[in-house]
Each structure stands twice: as C-alpha cells, then as structure tokens.
A and B are shown apart, each in its own frame.
Chain A
Amino acid sequence: MASALTSASFTRLLTSLDSDPERAGEKYEDLRRTLIRFFEWRGAPFPEDHTDETFNRIARKLCEGIEIKNISAYSYEVGRLVYLETLKGKDSKREPLQTDLADKSQTDIEHRLDLEKRLLCLEQCLDNLPVESRTLIVEYYQEDKRDRIERRKVLAEELGLQREALANRAQRLRDKLERCVTICSNKKSAI
C-alpha cells in the first residue's frame, strides 16, 4: 500500500501543477481522475492505490529538487511504470476485495436483488442532487426516439452551453452519482 504524502511533498506537488492554490487543487483532481481511469482501462486492480503510488513517486522526485516541466506527461510515464510493475506480480499478493466476477451461473434472483438495491440507492442519490443537476442527468442520459446526438445538441442549446461543456458537466454529475451509489450499496451489503 502506498505510504501517505507528507504535507510538504503534497504542497510541492500542488505548486508544480499551478501557482494558484485553487487552480492547482482542480488540476490535481483532474489528474487524479485521469490516472484512475487509465489504471481501470488497463485492467489494473486497485486503481486508486496505484494512483496514490504514482503521486507519491512524483512528489518524491519534486522533493529531490528535480524540475518537471510537464507534470501530465510525467504522470503518464510514472503511472505506466506502476502499471507494468503490477503485471510483474508485485501486487499479485493482494486480492481484489470484490470477487463478484461475471458468472453466468449467478442466478437471476441475485442479479435482480443487486439491481433493486442499486435502484434504491440511485433514487436517494438523485434526490440529494439539486433540481437542475437532476434534470440535466435525466435529460442527458434518457433514451427516447430521437437520435442521441441530436437530443444532446438540443439540450445544450436550451441550457445555453457548448456541447462539450454540457458533456463534461453531465459526466461529472454521473461520476458523482456513481460514487454515491457505490458507497450506498456497499453500506447496504455490509448490514
């Protein structure tokens, strides 16, 4: 498991992203999100742990006084190295906590119960969103007879947003909902 960043090394990392603390925090979150997805898309177990390890290594280099001109590109290189290490079996000792791999013998009842649990959680999580956000998520991802691209274009025009901005906003709301449902359904499973 990656050891924690110290305050000094974390500050150094943020400063290397941007001199403005607020913008640095946003860039950190964006980079973290990119790294987590990178590990997921590569099929690595424990994407968040690997992301933390990547940041630890970058911060250590910065604290050693090494200047990194392009943190994003450097993050990819370090992340890729961390990923390759997982292939060599350094992380093979740890088993993923969730073992519910796709199993065709898993009964319909289990699928249904799992879906019901998530639907319940989703309702709660949707209720916690502001009305505008809830409406945006529903309109963006709902499937009706219209072409998906056309529907989203109309929605962007109604909201006065560029299509990319709308897509980014919808995706971030979706990510937030997904985290909320995961936490909720894990709590229900633990009971």
Chain B
Amino acid sequence: MTNSDELLTQYLLGELPESEQSRLEERYFNDPKTFEQIVQLEADLIDSYNRGKLPPELRLRFERAYLSNPDRSDRVKFSAALTTNLDQRLHPPTVQPVPVDRDSWWRRLFVPTTHRALAFSMALALLLVSTATLWFWVQTRRLQQQLANARAEENVQEQRSREVQRELNDARSKADQLSAELEHAQSENNSQTVPTSPRTQPSAIATLVLMISGVRGSETGAAPRLIIHKDTQQVRLQLRLHDTEFPNYILVLNKVGGNEVYYGHRAKPAGKSAADFVITLPAAKLSAGDFLLTLKGQTAAGDIEDLSQSLFRVERD
C-alpha cells in the first residue's frame, strides 16, 4: 500500500483528523480523478476483506468502520456476493468422488457415523436443509395468500369499474333525454337560438386527464387534445396511475422538439395503491403544438426508471 493509499484508507475508515478529512474532501470534490481513486480503493478494500486478505489489524479497523453502518454494510454484502460469484467462476466447486466400498449397503450407510466430525457436519447439513425447506414452505404459503388477496381485489375493482360504467351510461342517456326535451321546448317556442354545450364555454382553467400508457407502447389513436381559450389562465394536467410501486415519482413535461416546460417530484400517496398526479401551470407556458408528459419512478436507492409517456396536443384559439 502506497502512502497515498494509506491516507485514503484512513479516510475511508474515519481515522483522519477533521482538518485532513476536509482537505481531502475539498480535493476530491474538485478533482474527479482523486474521487475515482478513493472509490476504487474502497472497492478493492472491501473485496480484500471478503476474500480474507486483510491483515488482522486492518481487518479489525475495517469491521469497526463498515459493519456498524447500514449503507456500508450493504456494500460489504454486495461485495461478498460478487467475489463469491467471480471466484466460483474461476474455481468451480468440485465434487469429491465417493470411494467404492464393497461392503454391504447397510454397512456403507453407517460408515460415515463412525467419524464424529463428519457425522456432526451431516447433522448440521440436514438442519440447514430442513430450515431452508421450512423457510421456502412459509414463503410459498405467503405468496399463495397474497395471490389470492390480489385476485379478490381485482374482482372487486372489476365490479366497481362495471358499476361506474353503468352510471356513466345512465348519465349520458339522461343528458340526451334532457337535450331532446330542450330542443323540443325551443322548437315549440319558435326560438332560433341553439343551446350552447357547457363544454364549449371558455373556462379560466383548462383540464386534461391522462391515463398511463407504457413507455414503449404504441399509440393506437389520436393524441388527446387540450384546448386553451383566450381567457384560460391556468392549465391543469392530471395523470392517473393505478399501481404505485415506487416511493417517489418524477414528472417531466416537454414540448416535442422544444424545451422542458415542467420538472417535479411527487411522493407516493400514503396507504394508497393508485395516485392522481396533478400539474398546474400558467396557460401561457403551453404554446400550440405537441407535448410529452413523462412519468418516472424513483427507487429508494435513487435509480430512475421511465414508466410512461403521454402525448397530447395543445390547440389555442
């Protein structure tokens, strides 16, 4: 280990005085090479620990610094898996050939038990296998229960969806009936005016509800339209998400072929599996044209994954 490596190791193990720590930190914040050097040294240090290659004194210092901190402990566990995997590729475990014994089968069965250490190992192996079998059985039962619960919930939701659809159809037919009655009344009064649908009245807020579609899904129909009238002041975009599996979400709104209009974080609503994410913008921010609203999920680890993209068109009058 060079002097520099020794200094960096002391830093990683939290053994430098505060002033030296700060000096090193200022250096690596301004110099990416120094930063990468420390990151790589850390990786090699952790791997050496897992391979049993650290001298005893360094091993103790390492355990004190790394195994008491959850994030660092996780890094050590990952390295244990990585080094085990890589080392097994290099030295695959070999099966020892069992010596052929011409003794009778029952004698062969009991030979191992004459050696205490081997007998103990077999008992331990049996215990491990039993524990693992029990664990797998418990996990399987739990999964089966979760599957049953998920299916029951799916049925309830399907039923709810059918009810909502029924109510919507009822409302539509009532509206049609009322429109017919109104027309009839107007024609009886010889009126020339045509009732205006509430939908064509300009509003101060223009709203568009978008449903989630896949990132790689193909658009099967025309993009939804958002009409912004002259006196519309605000635009409200509502994105419906049925299954919230990430703790945090990011919404990004871009004009197609243009700049980013909006970027924001949202947390998963507590205790809910679905979510409505709302973006409120000044109407002036949306010029006529096509826009793309991207929903990203962010894991607790900070990884970001694109979940959906919703295309819509803005028309202005």
Partner-B contacts on A (CB < 8 A):
4-7, 10-11, 30, 32, 34, 36-38, 40-43, 45, 47-48, 70, 72-73, 75-76, 80, 96-102, 109, 112-115, 118-119, 121-123, 126, 138, 141-144, 148, 164, 167-168, 171, 174, 177-179, 181-183, 186, 191
Contact = CB atoms under 8 A, between A and B. Distances in A.
B59 interface: no
Interface in B108-166: 128, 131-132, 135, 139, 142-143, 146
Given A37-B39, A43-B14, A112-B128, A48 B302 contact: yes
A174 B90 CA distance: 19
B290 interface: no
B71 A101 contact: no
Nearest to A112: B128
Interface of B: 11-12, 14, 21-22, 25-26, 28-30, 32-33, 35-36, 38-40, 43-44, 47, 51, 63, 67-75, 77-78, 80-87, 89-90, 128, 131-132, 135, 139, 142-143, 146, 253, 260-266, 299-303
A186 B128 CA distance: 23
A148 B53 CA distance: 13
A7 B262 contact: yes
Nearest to B299: A183
A100 B73 contact: yes
SS of B interface (majority): helix
A99 B33 CA distance: 34
B72 to A, nearest CB: 7
B263 A141 contact: no
Contact of A102 (B32, B40, B73): B73
Given A73-B26, A80-B22, A167-B40, A34 B35 contact: yes
B20 to A, nearest CB: 13
B142 A191 contact: yes
A75 B29 contact: yes
* Smallest CB-CB A-B distances: 5 pairs: A4-B265, A102-B67, A118-B81, A7-B263, A76-B29
Nearest to B298: A48
Contact of B87 (A76, A100, A143): A143
A171 B39 contact: yes
A41 B265 CA distance: 27
Contact of B32 (A30, A97, A109): A30
Contact of A109 (B11, B14, B21, B131): B131
Nearest to B249: A4
B264 A6 contact: yes
Interface centre among B38, B63, B89, B302 (most CB of A within 10 A): B302
Given A10-B263, A34-B35, A100-B73, A115 B30 contact: no
A111 to B, nearest CB: 9
A80 to B, nearest CB: 7
A182 B303 CA distance: 11
Given A143-B83, A167-B36, A178 B29 contact: no
Given A5-B265, A38-B25, A73 B30 contact: yes
B69 A141 contact: no
B119 to A, nearest CB: 19
A41 to B, nearest CB: 6
A164 B36 contact: yes
Contacts of A171: 36, 39-40, 43
Contacts of A109: 128, 131
Given A43-B69, A179-B303, A115 B80 contact: yes
Nearest to B127: A109
A182 B73 CA distance: 12
Given A114-B77, A141-B82, 19 more contacts: A36-B302, A37-B39, A40-B72, A41-B11, A43-B69, A43-B72, A47-B71, A80-B25, A102-B73, A109-B131, A113-B132, A122-B81, A126-B85, A138-B89, A142-B86, A142-B89, A143-B83, A167-B36, A178-B75
Given A11-B260, A183-B303, A141 B83 contact: yes
A160 to B, nearest CB: 20
B187 to A, nearest CB: 52
Contacts of B67: 101-102
Contact of B28 (A34, A99, A112, A113): A34
Contacts of A143: 47, 51, 83, 86-87, 90
Contacts of B139: 191
A171 to B, nearest CB: 6
10 contacts: A4-B266, A5-B265, A45-B70, A118-B77, A118-B78, A119-B85, A141-B83, A171-B40, A182-B301, A183-B299
